[in-house]
Each structure stands twice: as C-alpha cells, then as structure tokens.
Structure 1
Amino acid sequence: MTKQNKTRLRRGCKKGNIKQKTVRILDKYFTGESITYQEIITIIIPILVDQAFLILMSLLNTAMIASAGVAAVSAVNMVDSLNIFLVNVFIAIATGGTVIVAQYKGIGDRKMVTKTATQAVSAVTLFSIVLSAAVIIFNGPILNVLFGDAEREVLENAKLYLIGSCFSYPFIAIYQAVCGGLRGVGETKPVLGLSLLMNLTNTILNIIFIIIFNFGVLGLVISVISARIVGMVASLLYIIRYNDTIRFQIKNALHLDFTILKKVMFIGIPFAAEQLFFNGGKLITQTFIVKLGTLALTANAIAGSLTLLFQIGPNALSIAIVTVVGQCIGRRNIKDARRFTTSFIFLSSIFFVVTVVMLMPFFPLLMKMFSAPNEIIGTIFIIVLMTAVAQPILWAPAFLMPSALRAAGDSNFTSIASLLSMWFVRVILGYILGVTLGFGIIGVWVAMIIEWSIRGVVFYLRFRGEKWYQHKLV
C-alpha cells in the first residue's frame, strides 16, 4: 500500500469514527420511545432556516429604513414594540392550536388534528380583526400615551407605520395559525417554504419602495401589507389543495366548534394574556427609552436587531420543542419529555456560543451597515457584549423551558410566572437603573438580563416537580 493510500485510509477511519460518535450522542440525547433523533432533526432544520431568514431579513430591513434617517428608524422601532405586543396575541392563540394538534398527533387521532387546526384559524382570524379595528380607531391616544415625549417627526412616522401595520394584522394572524397547525403535526418544511416566500417578498418590496423610490416609512408599510397578503394566500392555498394531514376546508372554518375552541383557548388565552402583559412590560420599558432621546431609541433598535442574531438557533428550538414535547405528552411519555427538554436547553447554549464567536468580529462592519452615529456605537457594543455573555447561560431556561411546560398544558403557571418577573423585575428595575440612577439604555438592558436569570430559576424549579405534566387535554 502506498503512503498516499494509507493517508486516505486514516482519514476515512477518522471520518467514520466522528460519524459514529455523532450518531451515539444524538441517540443518547435526542432519541426516545416517542420520537427519534432523525425525526427531531427533520422538525428542527426547517425551523432553524426559517428563523435565520426571518432575523436576517429583519436586520436588513432595519438597515434599509435607517437610510431614511434616525427619525424613521426610531419611529419604526417604537411601533414595532407595539406590533410585537399585538401580533403575539395571535401567535399565542395559534400556539394553543399547535399544542392541541401536537398532542392529537401523538395519539394518532387524524380527525381531531384537522378539526383543531381549522378552529385555531377561525379563532385567530376573529381576534385579529377586532384588535386591528380597535387600534386603528384609537391610534392617536395610544401613541400619545406611550410615546408622547418623542419628537414630532418621529410621532408622524410612527402613526403612519402603526395604521399600516394594523391593516396587515388579519393576514399575518391567519398565516401564523396555519403555520402553527403544520408545526403541530411536525410538518415544518412547508412552513419554511411559506416563510421564505413571505419574507423574500417583503425584502424585495422594501428594496423597491425604500431604497429605489425613497418612500421611507410609507414604503415599509406597502411592503409589509403586500407581503403578509402573499403569506396568507399561499398558506391557505397550501392547506386547502396540497396538504393531506390537516385537510382544511373554508366551510368548516366558518362553523365554530366550542368544544375544540375551549381546549385551544385553555392554552391560548393564558398565553395571550401573558404576551399582552409581558410585551406590555416591554412597551412600558420602551417609554423609558423614549425619555432618553432619539439617539437612545436608535441605539436600542440597532442593539436589539444585533442580539436577535444570537437567538436564531435558540428561537428555532423554542418553537420545535412545542411539537416534540407535545407529542411526548400526547403519548403520556414523561421520561422523553424531560429528556428532550434538557437536551434542547444544552443545545441552545451551544448555538449561542457558536453564533457569538462567529459574529462578534464583524461588529464594526455591522455598524457601517446600520449607518450608526458615532456617538452611540460604544453603547451598542456594551449592550451586545453583555447579551453575548449572558444569553448562553440564562436565555434557554428563561424562554425555552416555559415552551416545554406550555406544550404539556401548564399554561397558567408559565403565564403568571412570566408576568410577575416582567413587571416586578424588568419594568421596575429597568426604570430604577435606566432613569432614576441615570444608567440610561444600558441600565434598561441590565434589568432585562437580571429578569432572565430569575425566570430561569422559577421555571427550572417547576420543571423538577410533577405538576407541570399532570394536565390532561386530549
């Protein structure tokens, strides 16, 4: 045997050993009686790509609107905090559908999978129409109460963006409900395709209306509404004509089944209340930042966009764990539910570390992309560095673990715990550190990181016990 052939043989053996070790690790931590690691990978990968695309597009969109000036980016950041507050209500109801669908999938009841997914779409549609109409009617008082201290130009841009966003709520709500049903049955590939279609449409239209035609915030509004219409139409078309698992029919969606809706709402309503009050706390925190000035708003917007990059992998896992744990609970396999939750948390920390190591060297380049004013670059760097250190340790127990508890039906506890930690730690401490003690935007972010740690401890103690999996929903 030649020296070259021996080298090739050694390399082949090394690759084989690495592959075997990888399979053994995956088998140990991601295979159980309920589901195999191959099935989990099939669920996670499309969600991971979807989250990466969503966050990268959000980053790009923020950078594009930054070209319209600090007033535009501040207005968009302000209203987006309100948008997140409202849209998460629809996502919460959709998550109720995802949990029940996943549990019915776990016990193999295809008929109830179809009925539950259909009723989730109906419920979310009604919620979104009522909510969007209310916000459009009262947009003036809402903006004055929350952001009355902002500059006039910022408020004018904010009003335009808020009303435009409201018109898009029913479209994004229906899209989210459809995607929630598909995730519940473990079909994440079509969700990825739908997400790519909607977000690519949004980005292309942003380039046309913001960069080429220089429409500023108006261009962003046109892009958002158009893209969400495309997402809604495509998602409905898919589950009506091309999906055999959910088998959605418009006529069934028009008939409300209150027995099924009660189950969906058992998960959805507490989660919706949590989202309202949790994101309401974020909104109150945003009012602190408004008092700190337009530059502080801009720094917060850019830092928030950058730290979202670190969360691409962990966010994907927090979505995937609802399907995985939900199906385990549907089979009443508590051992698997515990194992996968622990494994997902460790994997989340690994994702954080890898992402931070990859992205931090590009910080100066990212600042140029955002056209960040020189006087706030130092502040942005401190915020990003703080979150880069804290997230691998604190984020997963604080946010991924409650997703697992909620998938088991433990919605009331997770919602109450989240609300208390938000209002008594992040909001109050954020005001004390940011405004009273004068630490500014950095003080607000420090309060948020402290809140993560407290949430994580609370949910870990709950997870160690037995009450979280004793809810029987199906």
Structure 2
Amino acid sequence: MLYSNQDLKKLILPLVMEQFLAILVGMIDMIMVSGVGEAAVSGVSLVDNINVLIINISAAMATGGAVVAGHFLGQKDSDSAGRAAWQLIFFSAIIAVVTSVCVLVWHEPLLRVVFGQVEADVMSSAITYFTITALSITPLVIYNSCAALFRAMNSAKTTMWISILMNIVHVTINSILIYGVKLGVAGAAISTTISKTLAASVILYLMFNPNKIINIKGKVTWKPDVGLIKKILYIGIPNGMENSLFQLGKIMLLSLISTFGTFAIAANAVCNTLAGFNILPGQAINLALLSVAAVCVGAGDYKQARYYTKKLIWLAIASTGVTSLLLIIFAPWIMKIYNLSPETEILAIRVIRYHAAMAVILWMPSFTLPNTLRAAGDVVWTMAIAIGSMWTFRIITSYVFSEYFGLGLMGVWIAMTIDWAFRTICYGHRYRGNKWERCMIEKGKP
C-alpha cells in the first residue's frame, strides 16, 4: 500500500488542526468586529465573499500544481516535482500581483455594482476592509501554493505550525488595533494582511530546504517552463473556472440576501462561519484525498486510488456527523457570543441547524468525491457538473424560494442543499465508471 494508516494520520490530523484554526480565527475575527456593530460584521462578510472569489482562483492553481507534483512523486521523479513547484509559485504570484493592483484601483466601483443596495454604513465598512486586504492577496496566493506542495509530500504538519503562528499573530494584532487603537474594521484588515504576509514568508523560505522531497533550491528561474505550466493549467483552469463561477454565484446570492435587510446579512455571515466549522473535517480530508489520489494516479495504481477514496469519504462522513450534532445542540449558546439582535439570532439558529443536518448526508460525496476525479485529470467533466448544478439549482432555486415562496434567507440555504444532492448523483455515477481512470493516459502522464 502506498499509504499506511499512520501515513494518513500524519497527513489528516495536521490538516484538521489547520482547518480548525482557520475557522476559529475567522470566528474570533467576526466576534471582535461585532463589537463595532452589525454594520461592520455585514461589511466584512460581504468583502470576504469577494476575497474568496479571488483566492479560489489561486487555490485552483495550487491544486493544479499539487496534482502535477503528486504525479511526479508517484513516478519517483522529485527533481521534476521541484521544477513544477517553482513554476506554480512564480506563475501564481504574477497573477496575484496583477489582481491586487486591479482591486486597489477599482475596489469602490466593484463593491457598488455588486452590493449597491446595502445601507451606507455597511458599504463604508466594506470599502475600508476591501482596500486594505487587497494587499494580502499576493502573500496568500504564495502561501496557498506552497501549502499545497507540502501536502503533496505528506508534510501537512509544517503548514499546521505555520498556521498556528499566523493565527496567533492575527489575533494579537487584532486585539491591539480593534480594542486598543480603536481602528475597527481597518484594524481587522491590517492584522489580516500582516499575518498572511508573515505566513507566506516563512513557508516560501522552507520551500528552499534541499532535504524536502519537493524543493525549489536551484530551480528558481524567471523563464517560464511552458510545458510544466500547461500541465498545471490543464488541472488549474477548469478547477479555477469551477471555483470562481461557484463563488460568483454566491456573490449574486449575497446581492439577493442584501435585499432582506442587515439582520439577514449578519445572520448569513455568522452561519457561513459556523458552516465552515461544520464541514471542517471534510475540508481537511478533501485536501488529503487530493494529494493521496494524485500519488496513486502517478503510480498508475487506480485500485488504491479507489480504496483510499472510499476509506476517506466514510471517515469524513463520520467526523462531520460529530460536528453537526454539536452545532444542532449548542447553536443557541454559540449565537450568544456574536452580540446579535433577537431577530438575527433566531434566523441564524434555524439556518445553521438545517445546514448541520444536511451536511452529514450530502456535503461529503458532493465535494470530496470529485477530488479523486480531479487527481486523475478528469477536470473538465467535474467543472461542467459543478457549474451547471450551481447555476441551475442553487441560483435559480434561491430566487424562486425567496421571492415567490417568501422563504427569505432560509430559501437560499435550502437551494444550496438541492445543489449538493444533484452533484452527489452525478459524481457518484461518474466515479462508478472507468472513464476518469483513462484521462491521464489519454492526455499523457506528466
């Protein structure tokens, strides 16, 4: 077997901790900002959704790089894996710098086009947060690229410790700037930028360690390797289109949610944070499965790829069941820490309990299973299903449920789970066949 239980434990547990810290610091960030008022919470949450759209494009590139590097590792070719790693970092950083400049120049028109109907104080908070966090895009892209490579070499413990450092710095500076200096939303944005820059600097430095099976020492060049970049983009572009259109759809839904009032925006923001905690084990296992399956595919062993897929999906379902149960039971007490109005709190409890119940049944197969397909290069088909399902079921159904049936925010979240159900059916059908196993053979192995 390519991975023992101990190997999987070594990979997954640090990823769970890293994901937990990311969600926890997001919750702490939201709690700290909530002291400034619900308008601040709403403004930050709106911008975070645009930032996620930008970040998802870089994450798609990181996925492409990790898959290509994983294929090389499966073939025992660490030198080519290192060259692919540098091309990923270099190419992603260039795109990130261009994106940051565009955001800095056009941040206000963009926010007004997307969220023009929000209240003035919400828009003011959003503009402040968006402007400052634009500076964190490039560091975060570099961090995500390097973190994906560390996971590909089964060294998730490294990214866990860097994440711990980043979160400690983030919370410390947050406390000083929000409560001490009284900078409010600006303080939260500054601490985010500083902590992400520190994390990117540390992990990039570690990528030069020649003792790592994937390293970039001696491989830094300012000349693009077109062949390697094409391999990365073959995985990254469809995944990026999928992720970006998915997030764009969520932003469209935020425009709809913004018409329900500030209380609905705040409830949605809190529930998004708690939903992240709900699916935390699944997110960690998703990252692990992508790396594991890529190595199996690189070695040409699809039987093991199927074995690990089944094993990790069942693990994800079981662990998500635990987090769902905790949220269903303790939701009323959790909401108290957010200083929400009674109307917002009641709505948030109802939404997060629904999400918790449905996540156990539908989230895992709809988001975990396609990672095995992507690792095998079956990216165009997974992209088509994800985009089609998102826009057909989640977007259209949200408007129908909210506008014609008067379900408001609850209608948006119900539509989301219908999207999950359709994905589950399609990905399950694809996985049971053998077409995905032939993708790398037809395209040529890296």
TM range (shorter): over 0.9
Deviation, 1:34, is 2.5
Counting only pairs closer than 5 Å after superposition, residues 277-292 of structure 1 correspond to structure 2 as 277-292=245-260
Match of 2:144 in 1: 176
- 1:287-322 Cα offsets, whole Å, 9 max, x none, are 100111111100101111112111111110011001
- 1:415-452 Cα offsets, whole Å, 9 max, x none, are 11111111111011111112233210000100001111
Deviation, 1:382, is 1.2
Of 274, 289, 292, the residue aligned with 1:321 is 289
Aligned equivalents of 1:201, 1:177: Cα separation in 2? 21
Deviation, 1:275, is 1.2
The letter for the 2-side match of 1:391 is A
Match of 2:335 in 1: 367
Answering whether residue 443 of structure 2 is matched by residue 455 of structure 1, we say: no
Question: Which has the larger Rg?
Answer: 1
Answering whether residue 422 of structure 2 is matched by residue 442 of structure 1, we say: no
Please report the TM-score for the alignment, with normalisation by the length of structure 1: 0.91
Counting only pairs closer than 5 Å after superposition, residues 6-155 of structure 1 correspond to structure 2 as 33-155=1-123
Aligned equivalents of 2:148, 2:325: Cα separation in 1? 32
Aligned equivalents of 2:178, 2:332: Cα separation in 1? 24
Counting only pairs closer than 5 Å after superposition, residues 212-361 of structure 1 correspond to structure 2 as 212-241=180-209, 243-249=211-217, 252-361=220-329
The letter for the 2-side match of 1:92 is A
The letter for the 2-side match of 1:436 is Y
Answering whether residue 363 of structure 2 is matched by residue 395 of structure 1, we say: yes
Deviation, 1:241, is 4.2
Aligned equivalents of 2:195, 2:300: Cα separation in 1? 40
The letter for the 1-side match of 2:145 is A
- 1:137-179 Cα offsets, whole Å, 9 max, x none, are 2212211111000011111111111111211100100111111
Aligned equivalents of 2:84, 2:342: Cα separation in 1? 52
Match of 1:208 in 2: 176
Is the partner of 1:138 in helix, strand or coil?
helix
Q: 1:261 to 1:244 in 2, by over 3 A?
A: same
Aligned equivalents of 1:396, 1:165: Cα separation in 2? 31
| Equivalent residues of 1:394, 1:453 under 8 A apart | yes
Deviation, 1:126, is 1.0
| Equivalent residues of 2:210, 2:217 under 8 A apart | no
| Equivalent residues of 2:331, 2:352 under 8 A apart | no
Deviation, 1:250, is 7.8
Please report the TM-score for the alignment, with normalisation by the length of structure 2: 0.96
Match of 1:198 in 2: 166
Aligned equivalents of 2:304, 2:278: Cα separation in 1? 28
Aligned equivalents of 1:253, 1:392: Cα separation in 2? 46
- 1:17-65 Cα offsets, whole Å, 9 max, x none, are xxxxxxxxxxxxxxxx322221111111111111111111111111111
Aligned length, in residue pairs: 442
The letter for the 1-side match of 2:330 is F
Aligned equivalents of 2:46, 2:121: Cα separation in 1? 13
Deviation, 1:245, is 2.1
Aligned equivalents of 1:423, 1:250: Cα separation in 2? 45
Aligned equivalents of 1:412, 1:199: Cα separation in 2? 36
Deviation, 1:356, is 2.2
| Equivalent residues of 2:325, 2:356 under 8 A apart | no
How well do the aligned residues superpose, as a CA RMSD in angstroms?
1.4
Match of 1:188 in 2: 156
| Equivalent residues of 1:288, 1:435 under 8 A apart | no
Match of 2:377 in 1: 409
Residues 306-315 or 248-257, more deviating: 248-257
Aligned equivalents of 1:135, 1:85: Cα separation in 2? 12
Aligned equivalents of 1:385, 1:78: Cα separation in 2? 22
Q: Using the aligned pairs only, state the percent identity.
A: 30
Aligned equivalents of 2:101, 2:243: Cα separation in 1? 19
Q: 1:251 to 1:112 in 2, by over 3 A?
A: closer
Deviation, 1:351, is 0.8
